[in-house]
Structure 1
Amino acid sequence: MAKKLFPTLVCCALACLALMGLSACSQGAPDGAPEAEASTEKLVVGYDNSYPPYGFIGDDGKPCGLDLDLAQAVCDRLGWELECQAIDWDAKDALMNQGSINCIWNGFTMEGREDKYTFSEPYMLNEQVIVVKKGSGIGGYDGLAGRTVATQVDSAALEVLQSDRADLAATFGSLDQITDYNNAFAQLESGLVDAVACDLSIAAYQTSANPDAFVMLDEPLSSEHYAVGFKLGDTERAEKVTQALKELAADGTAKEICERYAEYGVDYDGNWTLG
């Protein structure tokens, strides 16, 4: 993806310090200290670090993003430790089952995945859309017939095109699955693909960062909701995160975090759903 200078708020795990015995969680409670300090709960977030504005690498080389900021604010509210792990998106289920991560918080669509995860209540409204190269002559879905459309592997856009909009996908010349959206948009710019199907926020970021290169088609593929995904049955943790998110909305913290990413197309009033 093209890069711009944006405000960067970093949340990053200190797991290596814990292993070295420098974290309070790995040490016994000091004399006279409450024993609870030795058993702080840890939220281990799996995220894609090439998925702005939700999780990405900033210009300073450090991880940042709206969902990482929200995760940090939730952990601060709950008194938890936060660890953020950049993952191969295609491996997220295996990592969850292994216990390497205990949640997925990364612009994660809940529709169609309700039987695979226990979700928090949804906090963001999103759409799946299609972006084409400016001047391509593609003004609507009819123009995609016989064309090469790319999307990220195991993405919500892919699921929509393989289910509810399979009739549309059948008109494409091909539907390519690419490892990340950075690569997808690089291929769109170079002409290797004709369109990219992605989340609205990704499209808004790309079209605002590259106004002379890309344009978004008017009609969305679908509307959906983002939520935090936990291992199936992890209801207690999901409920605690939901409650913390509601409190962040009530005191204005969630709005302030969303406003940090306004240049990426995030609109608190239009996108936030949890109150």
Structure 2
Amino acid sequence: MKKMTKLAAMAAALCLGAALLAGCAGAADNGAADNGADNGAAANPEATTLIVGLDNAYPPYGFIGDDGNLTGFDIDLATEVAKRNGWNLELEAIDWDAKDALLGQGTINCIWNGFTMEGREGKYAFSKPYMHNEQVVVVKKDSGISKLEDLADKNVMTQADSAALDVLEGDQKALADTFAGGKAQTIGDYNNAFMQLESGAVDAVACDLSIADYQMAAKPDMFVKLEPLSTENYAVGFAKDGDTAMVDAVNKTLKEMYDDGTIAQLCEKWGEYGITIDNWVLVD
């Protein structure tokens, strides 16, 4: 009886071990599917980890592809930078409004997602600017709106906590005061904002140039953009008192990628989404 009991216990232990191994494998698989990062070989537990916080509804810089994985121009940049530095890479889709709290907690160690640096210099340790950008307003072609002054009494929408909202609450506040309701309406992401524009629920969307170009490329007969609200640059944002060595490494690697033609190749890859090498600014 004792022998049978021991055998049963051993069998149970073996089954439990197998289940644990299967569970671990399943968790790893789920993690890979969640972040969409392709790090090649298994992650090195002793390597530095680049944890990128991003908005996963921000094409063409970061969004969910047709295969269900994260993709985008900035994700390609981060993936290559991590690879060249021997870093592990984690991509974290975040609530954009919570980005500062997540950065402060160390849940992410950078924001890399078409992130405007102007007006935010005192809050983050930024990389060198790498991409020129503008804040623009997009309207439907048949709207009769051809200039910013035509937005008076119109419903204008933008993303919450966005650079476009900062401009409309700052340098272009006088313009926003003329909108219906005396300010821009806000929404969680630009994909839904453009759905509102297409349906006629709003008259205009204020957004980044790259977002406008992406939406116009997808539906060239529907949208047009007005003159810029402002000009600015994208950079990678790190915690203000964070790892300066990582900031320096990102700058150095992006410059190397420009010099060896990798940046030109990535711009060409994302060209149909409105990305162009003409807007790349990190060349020194």
Structure 2: gaps (5+ residues): 1-33
Which one of the candidate residues 186, 196, 216 is aligned to 1:187? Answer: 196
Q: Name the CA distance, whole Å, in 2 between partners of 1:45 and 1:245.
A: 16
Instruction: Tell me whether 1:107 sits opposite 2:114 in the alignment.
Output: yes
- Alpha-carbon displacement from aligned partner over 1:191-216 (angstroms, at most 9, x marks no partner): 11110000001101111111222111
SS of the counterpart of 1:244? helix
1:33-112 matches, within 5 Å, as 39-112=46-119
3-state DSSP class of the match of 1:182? helix
Asked if the contact 2:127/2:236 (under 8 Å) is kept, the reply is yes
Within the alignment, does 1:159 sit opposite 2:166 as a pair? yes
Aligned-partner Cα distance in 2 for 1:211–1:257: 23
Structure 1 residue 233, shift from structure 2 partner: 1.9
String of CA shifts for 1:114-141, please: whole Å, max 9, x gaps: 1100000000000110000120111111
Q: Separation in 2 of the partners of 1:207 and 1:14?
A: 30
Q: Is residue 2:44 matched to residue 1:24? A: yes
Q: Which residue of 2 aligns with 1:138?
A: 145
Partners of 1:54 and 1:23 lie apart in 2 by: 24
What's the RMSD between the two structures over aligned residues? 1.6
- Correspondence for 1:273 among 264, 268, 281: 281
Which amino acid is the alignment partner of residue 237 of structure 1? M
- How many residue pairs end up in the alignment? 245
Alpha-carbon displacement from aligned partner over 1:224-255 (angstroms, at most 9, x marks no partner): 00000000022221111111111111111111
Distance in 1 (alpha carbons) for counterparts of 2:160 and 2:137:
15
Aligned to 1:32: none
Equivalent AA in structure 1 for residue 53 of structure 2 = G
Q: Aligned with 2:143: secondary structure?
A: coil
Partner amino acid for 1:159? Answer: D
Q: Which residue among 36, 39, 43 is the counterpart of 1:12?
A: 36
1:201 is paired with a residue whose SS is: helix
SS at 1:224's partner residue? strand
Distance 1:267 1:56 in 2: 18
3-state SS of paired residue (1:135): helix
The residue number in structure 2 matching 1:168 is 175
Tell me the CA shift for residue 23 of structure 1.
Answer: 4.2
Question: Looking at CA atoms only, which structure, 1 or 2, has the larger radius of gyration?
Answer: 2
Q: TM-score, normalised to structure 1's length?
A: 0.86
Partner of 1:249: 258
Task: Give SS of 1:24's match.
Answer: coil
Runs (4+) of structure 1 moved beyond 4 Å?
none
The 1:250/1:122 distance shift into structure 2, 3 A limit, reads: same
C-alpha contact 1:50 1:180 (8 A) present in aligned 2: yes
The residue identity in structure 1 corresponding to 2:280 is: W
- Alpha-carbon distance between aligned partners in 2 of 1:163 and 1:142, rounded to the nearest angstrom: 17
Match 2:234 to one of 208, 219, 226: 226
Give structure 1 stretches of 5+ with no counterpart. 1-9, 16-21, 26-38
One-letter amino acid of the counterpart of residue 111, structure 2 = I
- SS at 1:69 equivalent: helix
